[in-house]
Amino acid sequence: MQGVARDHVPGWDARLYLKYADERTRPARDLLAQVPIADANLVYDLGCGPGNSTRLLAEHFPRAEIVGIDSSATMLEEARRALPRGAFEQADLANWRPRPADLLFSNAAFQWVPEHLRVLHALAETLPSGGVLAMQIPDNLAEPSQVLIREIAARGTWAERLKRAERARQLIPAPSVYYDLLRPLCRQIDLWHTIYHHVLAGAPAIVEWMKGTGLRPHLAELDSAERQAFLAAYEARLAAAYPALADGRVLLPFPRLFLIAVKN
């Protein structure tokens, strides 16, 4: 969950993020299920947010030291409340480096990290032989939920101000780019895409989902009246882009890219 690091984009809201906690945690479960180690001494949860993925790691590796890293004090406060015995550190993934660890795990964080390819390479270099880098990131910038944000941002009195918010978005490279980046360091690399189809209660629910993540850089640049206008325009466009199902709900397709690399 974090581009820029979390606190460089104001207003991470743990309550709003956790409104869809099950849907946001499912990719972490799917990623963890493919991690090719049964035991560990030290595991990092990179971009741990409110601790939902950290809890999974603690349950999966009960004897390991689990350390959650995030740049948002607000998210870490929630994580510490959820896991009082957990270890959490505030840091910016762009320049933070770990102790040698068995597993560097990340659920939806590196899309917010500037030059994240460089950062991933540097983190992989810190792994001991057999250590694992496992991450997933949204790969949904071509989805209507994202395209409509860009279109609305480019129109109206806010267009110039929202150029900065648009720069916070990072295009996700092709899987081959990650493979070529990590292959000199890693003996095994597994890459795959999964498209989740989240069942939500209509266009307003999609707005709430996006307010917790993708809309944040844009809303942070607007005053209260502009936010209302932006969100009203966005909701109206979403209603057309995501037609109601037979029961009145909608499906939100959400592609994600998964990567697991094992150090030489």
pTM for this model (two decimals): 0.89
Determine the Cα–Cα distance for residues 158 and 90; give it in Å rounded to an integer. Answer: 32
Which of 4-8, 117-121, 160-164 has the weakest average pLDDT? 4-8
pLDDT value at 4 more than 80: no
| Structural domain includes residue 1 | no
Residues 6+ apart with CB under 8 A from 19: 208, 209, 212
Q: What is the CATH number of the domain that holds 10?
A: 3.40.50.150
208-235 confidence digits (pLDDT tens): 989 878 888 889 899 999 999 999 999 9
Assigned domain for 172 exists: yes
Average pLDDT, the chain: 90
CA distance 119 to 191: 18
Task: Render pLDDT for 15-57 as a digit per residue (tens, 0 to 9).
Answer: 655 556 778 889 999 999 999 999 999 999 999 999 999 999 9
Boundaries of domain holding 84:
6-263
Q: How many domains does the chain have?
A: 1
Look at residue 6 in the predicted model and tell me its pLDDT: 35
